[in-house]
Amino acid sequence: MEFACLSCRERWNAASNTNTAQWLQQQTENAKNVVNKYMGKDLTDALVAGSALVAMADGVIDPSEREKLIDYFRTSQEMRGINIRDVDSRFTEFVQKIKNDPMLGKAEALRAVGKVAHKPEAARLVVRLCCAIGFADGEFSPVEKNVVSEICREVHLDPREFIY
């Protein structure tokens, strides 16, 4: 499986964790400007909701997926000021809603993601984090890719920009 960023044309594959780590670092650095521009409850909710959707794609939350989300908010300079407990609590809320009623839970999470649809840079940030969540356990499974594709469509982005 191969990934590519259509913005910078960088390519990497699952076997190349070094390239993946470098790409994620570059994207995190680039995200600082996007987050500062669009920071708010809508962006935070979209990031958390999208992460919950991908983490629940296979019906089971792998601890590495939750850790990836929390680490993102904890270590990203651009996310400074966001309460980690609130992020974790909101993630748990989305996951519970998806577990309790998969159709309605998914719809509510997609609605939260959709709030950044009119902000392409913020939407790309959401999708990039969702890809990282999907890859958190070392494998970006087909079901996780399908969820990321749905998220892309919700925010009016082409999934091929992120997934091959």
* Distance of alpha carbon 150 from alpha carbon 159, whole angstroms: 8
DSSP helix, strand, coil percent of the chain (3-state; round to 5): 70, 5, 25
Please give the C-alpha separations between residue 57 and each of 50, 65, 82, 111, in angstroms, as whole numbers: 11, 11, 26, 17
Q: How confident is the model at residue 97 (pLDDT cuts 50, 70, 90)?
A: very high
Question: Is the predicted pLDDT of residue 51 greater than 90, yes or no?
Answer: yes
3 state DSSP class of 156:
coil
pLDDT at site 72: 87
Residue 18 scores a pLDDT above 90: no
Q: How far is the C-alpha of 116 from the C-alpha of 14, rounded, in Å?
A: 28
Asked if residues 134 and 54 have their Cβ atoms less than 8 Å apart, the reply is yes
Whole-number pLDDT of residue 151: 97
Dist. CA 154–CA 123, nearest whole Å: 9
User: How high is the mean pLDDT of the chain?
Assistant: 85
pLDDT at position 81: 75
Among 16-25, 59-68, 138-147, the range scoring the smallest mean pLDDT is: 16-25
128 half-sphere exposure, CB direction, 13 A CA radius = 24
